[in-house]
């Protein structure tokens, strides 16, 4: 009975060590991230369902989508929030191609671009992400040229 108890305790300690090590380990391949959020308006009106992309000089971009109030929060991956620390070019777009409708998928209607080109195709927007919380509001102005 004592031998069983010693083995059980040893096994429990080993499992706890593995769990604690996996919880504390960090992805060393991931660059340092800063949390990024903000609000986007177009001509004073909240811009809903817009895609916001922060592209660093090197590496993967971070992306967010605005809610009904124009608020967004960037994600680096599906499970990690934020953006790479450093300088970014910023693109904001509302364009969306039609998708879905096959195999029981819901049809998502296409949506045209309403944001002027100098905020997406030829973006002049930039932002410098720092460690910690970053808030970048973008009050966009103008009309999309046809």
Domain ranges of the chain: 33-140
Residue 112 is predicted with a pLDDT of 86
Beta-strand pair 33-42/133-135? parallel
pTM for the complete prediction? Answer: 0.75
- Superfamily classification of domain 33-140: Immunoglobulins (2.60.40.10)
Question: At residue 79, does pLDDT exceed 70?
Answer: yes
Cβ atoms 93, 65 nearer than 8 A: no
pLDDT given at position 27: 55
pLDDT-derived band at 30, boundaries 50, 70, 90:
confident
Confidence of residue 94 (pLDDT cuts 50, 70, 90): very high
Q: Quote the pLDDT of residue 101.
A: 67
Burial class of residue 136 (count of CB atoms within 10 Å of its CB; 0-12, 13-18, 19+): buried
pLDDT in tens, 34-51: 999 999 999 999 999 999
Residues in contact with 142: Cβ distance below 8 Å, sequence separation at least 6, in sequence order: 43, 116, 118
Query: Which conformational region is residue 143 in: left (phi greater than 0), alpha (psi within -120 to 50 degrees), or beta?
Result: beta
81/99 Cα distance (integer angstroms): 26
* 69 confidence band (pLDDT: 50, 70, 90): very high
Cβ count within 10 A of residue 60: 13
Is pLDDT above 60 for 75? yes
């Amino acid at each position: 009975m004592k031998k069983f108890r010693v083995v059980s305790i040893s096994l429990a300690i080993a499992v706890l060590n593995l769990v604690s090590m996996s919880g504390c380990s960090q992805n060393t391949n991931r660059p340092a991230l800063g949390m990024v959020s903000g609000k986007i308006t177009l001509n004073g009106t909240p811009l809903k369902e817009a895609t916001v992309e922060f592209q660093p000089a090197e590496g993967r971009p971070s992306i967010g989508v605005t809610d009904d109030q124009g608020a967004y929060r960037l994600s680096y991956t599906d499970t990690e929030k934020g953006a790479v620390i450093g300088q970014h070019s910023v693109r904001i777009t509302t364009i969306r191609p039609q998708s879905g409708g096959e195999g029981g998928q819901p049809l998502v209607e296409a949506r045209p671009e309403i944001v002027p080109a100098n905020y997406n195709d030829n973006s002049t927007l930039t932002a410098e992400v720092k460690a910690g919380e970053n808030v970048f509001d973008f009050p966009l102005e103008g009309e999309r040229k046809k």
